Amino acid sequence: MTEDQAVSALAALAHVQRLRVFRALVVAGPEGLTPSVLADQLGVARNALSFHLKELSHAALVTAEQQGRNLIYRAAYPQMNGLLAYLTEHCCQGAPCGPDVSL
């Protein structure tokens, strides 16, 4: 993952509703969810949800597939894993990190 891709993904996730949408899609797994199910689950207006899905899609964090009359949105796990790998690359310069501190 490039620095620009990481910035794009982080910017897309830096909004409460988009983060909630992305997390809901991660929980849904490979089956994904339709926009109407997502809107109902999250209590988001469908037009607002459409905007957030578009932003997540532009950041390559979600994919959409046409199935009949429905669009199925899924989390893009390779992109998510790439972002996590980018953020943790060279963590603690290869040394064991400090103790796990719970907040």
Residue 74 in any domain: the answer is yes
66: which residues sit within 8 A by CB, 6+ positions away?
A: 72
Residue 53 in any domain: the answer is yes
CATH number at residue 53: 1.10.10.10
83: which residues sit within 8 A by CB, 6+ positions away?
A: 1, 5, 6, 9, 10
Residue 101 in any domain: the answer is no
Residue 99 in any domain: the answer is no
Supply the range of the domain harboring residue 7.
3-89
Residue 95 in any domain: the answer is no
Please provide the size of the chain in residues: 103
User: Which residue ranges of the chain lie beneath pLDDT 50?
Assistant: none
Residue 14 in any domain: the answer is yes
Residue 66 in any domain: the answer is yes
Q: Which residue matches tokens 């964090």?
A: 61
Residue 96 in any domain: the answer is no
Considering its fold, how many domains does the chain have in total? 1
Question: What is the pLDDT, as a whole number, of residue 103?
Answer: 54
